[in-house]
Amino acid sequence: MKSVRDYIRTIVDFPHEGILFRDVTTLFADPRGFRICIDQLLEPWAGMRIDRVAGLEARGFILGGAVAHQLSTGFVPIRKKGKLPGATISEAYQLEYGEAVVEVHDDAMLPGERILLVDDLLATGGTAEAGIRLIERLGARVAGCAFVVDLPDLGGRARLERMGMEVHALCAFDGK
């Protein structure tokens, strides 16, 4: 039986020379692989109260929507700056060369709600940390963070765990 990791292809030198890109589109394209992935992403939170699932742009939308459906709860997109209509709150975070900003609608979550944060890949943890800060600024609580791929060499898991987050990843790839 194949594992989730087996459905993920590696593309060498994308988007830059020396990078090993972990491509989850091959996982999404396979119905069995995608089903296994979604089931395993939500497994740690089965039976737990989750009020909404928040997905980080863009592949987190695909995963988060499917997880929210399985949990019979709502989905909240956390998007790049300027992509959401209506009133939003923003959170900036550092990139390797500069800064990026993510936003969420200011009425997307209610104080006290339990939110599961979902994305495809955990690298440095900057985007996930910004998403967590948005959730917390709205008064909601992060029940946990779920990722398909963890790149432990880049320190994202440790970063989120230092924030007190429970982190669940289906597989890990080293930098080699």
* Residues involved in catalysis: 59, 96
Sign of the torsion formed by the C-alpha atoms of 121, 127, 133 and 135: negative
Residues paired with 143 in a beta bridge: none
Amino acid 57 reads E
In three-state secondary structure terms, 152 is helix
Report H helices in the chain.
25-29, 31-42, 59-71, 126-137, 156-162
| CB 50, CB 143: distance < 8 Å | yes
